[in-house]
Amino acid sequence: MEKTKIKDLTDEEYLHHGSLACAGCGALLAFRHALKALGPNTITINSTGCMAVIMQMGVPKVPHFHVLFENGPAVMSGVEQALDIMGTRGDTNLLVVAGDGGTADIGMGSLSGAVERGHDFIYLCYDNESYMNTGGQRSGTTPFGAATTTTPVGSVVKGESRPMEMRKDVPEIMIAHGAPYVATASIGYPLDLIDKMKKAATVRGPSYVHVFASCPAGWRSDAKDSVKLAKLAVQTGLIRLFEYENGERTFQHVPKQRKPIKEYLELQGRFKHLLDDEEALKELEQYVERRSQS
């Protein structure tokens, strides 16, 4: 598939202005580009999360349903079946949007079921690494060392203590389900995200796109650094961008020379305590090293 260029992209926006997203919201940027890639012939279902709040007041210009935290993919299965039975599916894209809490923790069961049954839809998870809508509690994808409201920094435990390998790697879980198309993307590389959404739309069967989206409010970072952080996460090797199709995995934007992890950590308040903690920094660096060899 040909790579999208900025000049080819449509000026048409599928979201109205005036949404309640924080300044510098990464998830909104991910959703904006996902809709740009899929076009107006899209039905979106939104599991509860930040995005459901942001989409209040009629923000989307495409059909949009706000459903419970746990049943986004289940409702989408029903929508897909109904369109099939009525014979009106055509080339309508079906998109489920959920955060990492709604995907890795609460919605895991219904996502697993919908993918296993093989419904034809696209699942977009914007991963900001905790439950940001409710004030920043830890989730299944919170990284090692991150301070959240339920893993605060104290004198004994400093932030999230579970090692990086043990967090829920949802793309790998989806690959294990046999989903025909699984990809990871980052809002730091919007054109790559658009390419992956376009590809997901052409694949028959469930496709899963995991988007790394920064959150200035929860990460306690500067709003202007949102896109920079999403890029740095890839450049330091903490996040890997890949596409999995037909049993083959291809990597995108692999850094030739990995940047020091400190560059990524020092911009965020949630990792402030790690900067002078040599042991934790070493642990993170070893994780990146170990994973780059797999």
Partner 1 sequence: MGLEKHEKFIKKASSTLVFEPGWSEDNLTGAWRSERPEVDQEKCTNCDICWLVCPDACVKREGDRIEIDLKYCKGCGICAEECPVKAIIMLREESD
Query: Exactly one of 68, 191, 203, 288 binds partner 1 (CB under 8 A); which one?
Result: 191
Q: Name which position in 1, 2, 3, 23 contacts partner 1 (CB under 8 A).
A: 23
Using CB under 8 A, which residues numbered 106 to 135 contact partner 1?
A: none
Asked if 267 interacts with partner 1 (CB under 8 A), we say: no
What's the Cα-to-Cα distance from 274 to each of 143, 225, 235, 248, 287, rounded to whole Å? 12, 19, 19, 36, 15
**CB-based contact 185:212 (threshold 8 Å):** yes
Q: What string of DSSP letters covers 63-104?
A: -EEE--SS-HHHHHHHHHHHHHHHT--TT-EEEEEEEHIIII
Nearer to partner 1, 29 or 174 (CB): 29
Strands 241-245 and 248-252 come out as: antiparallel
Is position 3 an interface residue for partner 1 (rule: CB under 8 A)? no
Q: What is the C-alpha to C-alpha distance for residues 130 and 100, in angstroms, rounded to an integer?
A: 7
- Between 13 and 172, name the residue whose CB sits nearer to partner 1: 13
**Residues 212-241: x where in contact with partner 1 by CB under 8 A, - otherwise, as a string:** ----x-----xxxxxxx-------------
244/264 with CB nearer partner 1: 264
CA distance 220 to 238: 19
Residue with tokens 């996460």: 233
- Cβ proximity to partner 1, 162 vs 228, nearer residue: 228
**149 interacts with partner 1 by CB under 8 A:** no
Contact positions with partner 1 (CB under 8 A) in 27-66 = 28-29, 32, 56-59, 61
Nearest distance from residue 54's CB to partner 1, in Å?
9
139 binds partner 1 (CB under 8 A): no
Q: Which residue has the tokens 């650094």?
A: 225
Interaction of residue 15 with partner 1, rule CB under 8 A? yes
Integer angstrom CA distances of residue 230 from 36, 94, 118: 20, 26, 31
**What are the φ/ψ torsions at residue 200 (nearest 5 degrees)?**
-60, -35
Per rule CB under 8 A, is residue 256 in the interface with partner 1? no
Residues within the interface to partner 1 (CB under 8 A):
6-7, 9, 11, 13, 15-26, 28-29, 32, 56-59, 61, 190-191, 216, 222-228
